A and B are shown apart, each in its own frame.
Chain A
């Protein structure tokens, strides 16, 4: 077993494009849950809309990739309105149920045989990312100690972290504005905010749209980094990962999702590769290397439970600032 390689790969993933995707997804969730107290369990749907908007616009309709970006943003606004209008007047868990169901429905539609011509069925879509990689200014990759990236990987990673920075700046500015203070007020006590004459429903819808659009940016990065879109990549697992990232880093903190994402991916990959190597070296005999992949989901479930029970504020958060006791 070569710990240097294991450490290097974990580090590559921890600062790589995976961490970017989930940081964006979790920044969106942070706007929903951390700042406004909305239980969105359909973040996978927002990512899928972004990814499929790129794939369908280019591969199916032969339009420009940048038009796809615009369609994706419009699509995620519409999706947020569809989710929000029926549920945001109701108690928090209705939104949870409707969002998780809707994101699954999106996946069922895009992977169906019926719409195969448009969405590519269960094989998905590829060959749409060339317009993006033609802009790549890097002629060679990066080799920084154990961290190794190809030129294309470097390009998407840099663009991804730039998007994260923009999203963080937007969230930071929004949350210190009067608008953001109303959102926090809604999280703390909806009725109090309503009694001050604020339209709580409208603010919640705006928050859902804002966070959803940031999630869609994550979907763009996901699609471009894989250079393909596959429906089963957008299952509820993504949503649950993003929740784990958010709670680990600390909800209602601007940098919480980013810190959470880096640590989460570093640990996940580290545990995964270390276990696989230990199986291969014969230290662990009761598992096969495919079962290691399942072990990491078991650990994900356990850590989500334990974090929520013992440290719901995560690494950066402030326990007093979380609307965890609202019914």
Chain B
């Protein structure tokens, strides 16, 4: 037992040392990048991937700076700007070909805030279509987007729910596990230079190790001390703040795309436009979720984890090694959260705050489905994902997360244990 604890301490120390070593290397790199020219750039392609050449894009600032560039044969355009600050990017729609229009007229001109690195600005183009079929098409598109987004929430939500079920901890630092997976991939892909798939696989291993280390180094000692659940909830909030600002300190505040697969043309399936990377990422998510469900249903440890959720004392008395199962649950939860971050960042880039912003939606999904039940988390997350995306049919996109909260409060009023939850857990 003593040796085991020592070995664990040693591993924790090694991980801490690695982080300490990697940290300065990464900051050094981003500093070198900032010394380069600042560029506002983008690619103008139609929905089917055809580049649109000869379109004029102008960039102006309040300080009087003004410059423009036009897209080349591949649709690429770039404008070099002198310093960081706020810029207005305007696409001259009169230079577009006749049958091509902006998908979202409201996003032109765009105001961007350029910090330390160059910035990619997207103007989604497409054919202009008439009203009736457009509504149906948009609804279909948003439904598919919503399912994909729901999977992202579900990946994180299942882990959150499993951890809650087995330990009773409402983990407010779970969102930062999402960011952790994305950041690990970013370092391995962009800084180390590994191909994306290798980087993502390695990042999941690192995320799993992080989950295990977090349980072994923080939560298990707290459980041994007999720290109460509310105290642990506050500890998780503190730990989340600590992680977020460590990310910010090391990686900076800008949103960065992965080196590979960042700009990918969409495929048109009926009225729906979807990128191949989204299809593959969603498929991987589904496989990961199915594997988790199989683990819960079939494996000894999985069954044991459900037994612990039901009644920890009874499970322990029947000879289940509760601590070992909890450790396994943390590893799985952290890996799923890491995968969630990678999938999310494929389309949205990596940002230090993304996990915390997603966390509130993850909570909504988990509570709607039933806190503490893995299947409920899955169902609730899909509902919340679809609802958030489809609500933009009727309300401005910037307010879409409001829908998630309305559903959350609604379900708490009508069926507080969630769709699949049991009533005796909530009172």
Interface residues of A (CB under 8 A from B): 37, 39, 41, 82, 85-87, 89-94, 96-98, 100-102, 104-105, 108-109, 112-114, 240, 243, 247, 286, 291, 294-295, 297-298, 300-306, 308-309, 312, 323-327
Interface residues of B in 89-109 (CB under 8 A from A): none
Known: A101-B360, A105-B405, A114-B396. A301 touches B412 (CB 8 A): no
In the bound complex, residues from chain A placing their C-beta under 8 Å from that of B401 are 104-105, 108
Whether B246 sits at the interface, judged by CB under 8 Å, is yes
In the bound complex, residues from chain A placing their C-beta under 8 Å from that of B243 are 301
A38 to chain B, nearest CB (A): 10
Flag if B168 contacts A327 (CB, 8 Å). yes
B93 to chain A, nearest CB (A): 21
Whether B234 sits at the interface, judged by CB under 8 Å, is yes
Flag if A325 contacts B228 (CB, 8 Å). yes
Residue of B with least CB distance to A237? B241
In the bound complex, residues from chain B placing their C-beta under 8 Å from that of A327 are 168, 229
A254 to chain B, nearest CB (A): 21
In the bound complex, residues from chain A placing their C-beta under 8 Å from that of B229 are 325-327
Flag if A112 contacts B396 (CB, 8 Å). yes
Interface residues of B in 206-240 (CB under 8 A from A): 222, 225, 227-231, 233-235, 237-240
Interface residues of B (CB under 8 A from A): 24, 168, 170, 222, 225, 227-231, 233-235, 237-246, 248-249, 360, 363-364, 367, 371, 396, 398-399, 401-402, 404-405, 408-409, 412-413, 416, 425-427
Q: How far is the CA of A297 from the CA of B253 in the complex (A)?
A: 14
Select one of A93, A113, A240, A309 contacting B231, CB under 8 A: A309
Flag if A101 contacts B237 (CB, 8 Å). no
B61 to chain A, nearest CB (A): 17
In the bound complex, residues from chain B placing their C-beta under 8 Å from that of A87 are 412
Flag if A113 contacts B364 (CB, 8 Å). no
13 further A-B contacts with Cβ under 8 Å, apart from A93-B170, A297-B241, A308-B235, are A39-B233, A86-B413, A92-B230, A93-B233, A94-B426, A98-B405, A240-B237, A300-B238, A301-B244, A305-B242, A309-B227, A324-B230, A325-B229
Q: How far is the CA of A82 from the CA of B408 in the complex (A)?
A: 13
In the bound complex, residues from chain B placing their C-beta under 8 Å from that of A243 are 234, 237
A42 to chain B, nearest CB (A): 11
Flag if B230 contacts A109 (CB, 8 Å). no
Flag if B364 contacts A96 (CB, 8 Å). no
Flag if B228 contacts A91 (CB, 8 Å). no
Select one of B241, B246, B367, B399 contacting A108, CB under 8 A: B399
Residue of B with least CB distance to A300? B241
Residue of B with least CB distance to A97? B363
A sample of 29 inter-chain contacts (CB < 8 A) reads A37-B230, A90-B416, A90-B427, A94-B416, A94-B426, A96-B170, A97-B364, A101-B360, A101-B408, A102-B405, A104-B360, A105-B401, A112-B398, A113-B398, A240-B237, A291-B249, A295-B249, A298-B241, A300-B241, A301-B239, A303-B238, A304-B235, A304-B237, A304-B238, A305-B242, A309-B222, A309-B227, A324-B231, A326-B229
Known: A86-B409, A101-B408. A308 touches B398 (CB 8 A): no
Q: How far is the CA of A82 from the CA of B406 in the complex (A)?
A: 11
Residue of A with least CB distance to B364? A101
By Cβ-Cβ distance, the 8 closest A-B pairs, closest first, are: A301-B242, A304-B238, A301-B241, A325-B228, A305-B238, A297-B245, A324-B228, A86-B412
In the bound complex, residues from chain A placing their C-beta under 8 Å from that of B249 are 291, 294-295, 298
Select one of B24, B231, B409 contacting A308, CB under 8 A: B231
Flag if A113 contacts B238 (CB, 8 Å). no
Q: How far is the CA of A94 from the CA of B238 in the complex (A)?
A: 19
Flag if B230 contacts A323 (CB, 8 Å). yes
In the bound complex, residues from chain B placing their C-beta under 8 Å from that of A298 are 241-242, 245-246, 249
Flag if B231 contacts A114 (CB, 8 Å). no
B409 to chain A, nearest CB (A): 5
Q: How far is the CA of A37 from the CA of B227 in the complex (A)?
A: 16
Q: How far is the CA of A101 from the CA of B408 in the complex (A)?
A: 10
Q: How far is the CA of A85 from the CA of B416 in the complex (A)?
A: 12
B282 to chain A, nearest CB (A): 26
Q: How far is the CA of A294 from the CA of B408 in the complex (A)?
A: 33
Flag if A305 contacts B230 (CB, 8 Å). no
Q: How far is the CA of A86 from the CA of B411 in the complex (A)?
A: 9
In the bound complex, residues from chain A placing their C-beta under 8 Å from that of B230 are 37, 39, 92, 323-326
Select one of B24, B225, B371, B409 contacting A286, CB under 8 A: B24
A101 to chain B, nearest CB (A): 5
In the bound complex, residues from chain A placing their C-beta under 8 Å from that of B227 are 308-309, 324
In the bound complex, residues from chain B placing their C-beta under 8 Å from that of A82 are 409
Flag if B240 contacts A109 (CB, 8 Å). no
Chain B CB count within 10 A is highest, among A90, A102, A303, for A90
Residue of B with least CB distance to A236? B356
Flag if B241 contacts A240 (CB, 8 Å). yes
Flag if B402 contacts A105 (CB, 8 Å). yes
Q: How far is the CA of A102 from the CA of B409 in the complex (A)?
A: 10
B421 to chain A, nearest CB (A): 11
Q: How far is the CA of A108 from the CA of B401 in the complex (A)?
A: 9
Flag if B239 contacts A305 (CB, 8 Å). yes
A142 to chain B, nearest CB (A): 35
In the bound complex, residues from chain B placing their C-beta under 8 Å from that of A305 are 235, 238-239, 242
Chain B CB count within 10 A is highest, among A100, A291, A303, A309, for A309
B239 to chain A, nearest CB (A): 6
Flag if B405 contacts A309 (CB, 8 Å). no
In the bound complex, residues from chain A placing their C-beta under 8 Å from that of B399 are 108-109, 112, 114
Chain A CB count within 10 A is highest, among B230, B360, B399, B413, for B230
In the bound complex, residues from chain A placing their C-beta under 8 Å from that of B412 are 86-87, 90, 94, 98
In the bound complex, residues from chain B placing their C-beta under 8 Å from that of A91 are 425-427
A308 to chain B, nearest CB (A): 5
Q: How far is the CA of A94 from the CA of B363 in the complex (A)?
A: 10
Q: How far is the CA of A92 from the CA of B249 in the complex (A)?
A: 33
Q: How far is the CA of A35 from the CA of B24 in the complex (A)?
A: 45
Q: How far is the CA of A91 from the CA of B426 in the complex (A)?
A: 5
Q: How far is the CA of A303 from the CA of B239 in the complex (A)?
A: 10
Flag if A326 contacts B228 (CB, 8 Å). yes
A246 to chain B, nearest CB (A): 10
In the bound complex, residues from chain B placing their C-beta under 8 Å from that of A300 are 238, 241
Q: How far is the CA of A133 from the CA of B60 in the complex (A)?
A: 39
Select one of A94, A295, A323 contacting B367, CB under 8 A: A94
Flag if B367 contacts A308 (CB, 8 Å). no
In the bound complex, residues from chain A placing their C-beta under 8 Å from that of B425 are 91
Residue of B with least CB distance to A103? B360
In the bound complex, residues from chain B placing their C-beta under 8 Å from that of A240 are 237, 241
Flag if B231 contacts A312 (CB, 8 Å). yes
Q: How far is the CA of A28 from the CA of B227 in the complex (A)?
A: 25
Q: How far is the CA of A90 from the CA of B421 in the complex (A)?
A: 13
B390 to chain A, nearest CB (A): 18
Q: How far is the CA of A309 from the CA of B239 in the complex (A)?
A: 12
